[in-house]
Structure 1
Amino acid sequence: MSTSTPHSASPDPTSVFDHGVEHEQVVFAQDPASGLRAIIAIHSTALGPALGGTRFYPYASTAAALDDALALSRGMSYKAAVAGLDLGGGKAVIIGDPTTMKSEALLRAYGRFVESLAGRYVTACDVGTFSEDMDLVARESGHVTGRTLAAGGAGDSSVLTAYGVFRGLQAAAEHAWGDRDPADVLAGRTVGVAGVGKVGRHLVGHLVEAGARVVVTDVSEAALDRVRQAHPSVRAVGSTEELVASAIDVYAPCALGGALTPEVVAGLQARIVCGAANNQLAHAGVDKLVEEAGLVYAPDFVVNAGGLIQVADELVGFDFDRARARAATIYDTTRSVLERAATDAVPTAVAADRIAEQRMRDVGRLRGIWLR
């Protein structure tokens, strides 16, 4: 296995400092024997070691994979800071199709890569990886969370990710409509969920239990079938475009990032946007469009922090009830962000950034760069 030191999307690695990359460290690795090609991006260790999942995805290019790692790791720094965790932000991507490339050899090679960073980065599950995969990674590294319960880990982090999104949505609904107890603020409302994979299907369960009408879409028929079998009242539509144009009260993007484009914002009939997908704002300036459209946007890195909370609890000996109780406070955090946005007269995404940045400044200056 070979690794290289900080790099940017530019073809010339020596120009990293000229391209606005704010990350502490970006490391590439490959293991030809197993086919591993991976990138770990450490955005910040101001609050502690960088914790973030491993995404296994067939990126079109190395540059696309790097862009994703950089954006996702930055989001993890902000997510941990807003959630009040003593953790920094990092993310890893493995380039390739997990359905054909994933193997014990590859995952263990990746584990050795993680271990080479000596604890500055702690990994977990993400798109394309599961708790069973983390068990294999952990055979080579002591810096792994999200392992199976049988291996002493926190298990599937999508459970508390979905719960946290649900709690954030309750806060957003109370902010938008008020006059109801949070427990029934979603009753009778129509929620459109785009993506019913690991997180989305758990979110659907919470919504149905809360009395919401749920409409879903997914590119996977198998995923749709699982949800409809578990919840016969759920209705499916053929595409995200159809879902967005529907008469829904809440839009919950729960697939990949970039869900909120100017076109989507212009066509949305929903009052609230609150979902589990990372990096929902397609590009800078969309947050302002969201505000101008009168949408209540619960920032993704605020409401989807439940999974991070779950795997972070594993670092001190996992206790599900303790982690769930902390994930429940996402309701209060979301309320604080919405109130800060109103007070500062800024989009909610800006308000959330300010809260995170303030904590990283106030606490981070006491710690400096985290070293084991």
Structure 2
Amino acid sequence: MFPHQRVIVRRGPESGLPIIVAVHSTARGPAIGGCRMAAYPDWRDGLDDALRLSAAMTTKCALAGLPHGGGKTVIVLPPGAAGPARTAALHDAGTTIEELAGAYATGPDVGTGPDDMAVIGERTEHVFCRPAEAGGSGDSSPATAAGTIAALRALCEFRFGSPDLSRRSFAVLGLGRVGARVARLLADAGAELTVSDIDDSKRPENVAWTDPGKCLAAEVDVLVPAALGGLLTPRTVPTLRCRAIAGPANNQLDRESTAALLHDRGIVWAPDAVVSAGGIIHATAVELRHEPPARAMARVEAIGDTLGRVLRAAATDGIPPAEAATRLARAAMP
């Protein structure tokens, strides 16, 4: 959309680990975005992730109507690392965020959770989703999952003519905190369900299970990516046998041009910037704007309306939904 405003890369003085904080935009208000703690082959791979994810957060906030821009924190663990100095690394992240003087606040992401936000909060007040007993809104995954279900209903209404999930088949790829909740909600709605995860211990009872490779290519109505991003590529798109895709995983496309490959195959892809926004919508409503829980959840449910608007705009203009989402996000920027 446009260049980053500020990027900090440093070796944490307490942990010795690479700490990366990327602020993409503050045009709509202070930047927000999660803190990711993950192993990368090289620290520059972590930097690439931070840049990509922070830019996506700007789009996510604009589409959700939030008065914020996008940012991201990445703590780079060495490959194969076990038992790192977690507290020291989180303190280093908090100290770096504090230097930005409110231009950016962080929350949980891959590899971190509410307890980690409390540790970051020992060094900066610019953090959200701390445990409720620590004054935060707690785990964001229920709201992210609820927003994903709202998006799936909107997608089904657009693609199949009805929001009734019980009439459709779904393949959920990834059973982390969000993916497992999405799978349970789909099962409760009576949907036909297949699930998968790289960790066999997450295999649920009474639900069809397959390995991740087969799950990606499952013959279902809707594929629900709920693990790490980058799974939709020029190599994997030709193998897909779904009719639509919507899930909470961030950065599902390996590159923007892959959206056109999905469009050419007639597969409706719901942009993850819309689908995955529930957690950040809920947390900022409760913690930053002090809205009551019911109002915050109403904002989460409105993800369905936002996705419907994106899909209709794409259909009207004959373009991929990703392009329609980008246009709408740009129009929302000051």
Confirm or deny a common fold (TM above 0.5): yes
Instruction: Name the structure 2 match of 1:301.
Output: 273
Instruction: Name the structure 2 match of 1:191.
Output: 170
Instruction: Name the structure 1 match of 2:11.
Output: 30
Per-residue CA distance 1:161-197 (angstroms, 9 max, x = gap): 111111111101011111x3x3xx2114221011110
What TM-score does the superposition give when structure 2 sets the normalisation length?
A: 0.95
Shift of 1:318: 6.0
SS at structure 1 position matched to 2:178: helix
- Counterpart amino acid of residue 149 in structure 2: F
1:200 is aligned to 2:173: no
| Structure 1: segments with no counterpart, 5+ residues | 1-19, 365-372
Among 197, 221, 225, which residue is 1:218 paired with?
197
Measure, in 2, the Cα distance between the counterparts of 1:265 and 1:37.
Answer: 34
Measure, in 2, the Cα distance between the counterparts of 1:143 and 1:32.
Answer: 20
Measure, in 2, the Cα distance between the counterparts of 1:286 and 1:302.
Answer: 17
Shift of 1:210: 1.2
Measure, in 2, the Cα distance between the counterparts of 1:137 and 1:25.
Answer: 20
SS at structure 2 position matched to 1:334: helix
Contact 1:38 1:93 (8 Å CA) reproduced:
yes
Measure, in 2, the Cα distance between the counterparts of 1:343 and 1:246.
Answer: 29
Measure, in 1, the Cα distance between the counterparts of 2:289 and 2:91.
Answer: 24
Q: How does 1:22-101 map to 2 (within 5 A)?
A: 22-96=3-77, 100-101=83-84
Among 195, 205, 223, which residue is 1:251 paired with?
223
- Counterpart amino acid of residue 5 in structure 2: E
1:272 is aligned to 2:272: no
1:106 is aligned to 2:79: no
- Counterpart amino acid of residue 256 in structure 1: L
Which structure has the larger Rg over C-alpha atoms?
A: 1
Among 104, 124, 130, which residue is 1:121 paired with?
104
| Structure 2: segments with no counterpart, 5+ residues | none
Measure, in 2, the Cα distance between the counterparts of 1:234 and 1:94.
Answer: 35
Instruction: Name the structure 1 match of 2:262.
Output: 290
Measure, in 1, the Cα distance between the counterparts of 2:293 and 2:16.
Answer: 36
What TM-score does the superposition give when structure 1 sets the normalisation length?
A: 0.86
Deviates more, 1:195-204 or 1:101-110: 101-110
Kindly tell me the number of residue pairs found equivalent between the two proteins.
331
Instruction: Name the structure 2 match of 1:163.
Output: 146
Contact 1:194 1:252 (8 Å CA) reproduced:
yes
Contact 2:15 2:85 (8 Å CA) reproduced:
no
Contact 1:164 1:306 (8 Å CA) reproduced:
yes
Measure, in 2, the Cα distance between the counterparts of 1:108 and 1:188.
Answer: 48
Shift of 1:99: 5.2
- Identity score, percent: 42
SS at structure 1 position matched to 2:24: strand
1:148 is aligned to 2:131: yes
Measure, in 2, the Cα distance between the counterparts of 1:50 and 1:158.
Answer: 20
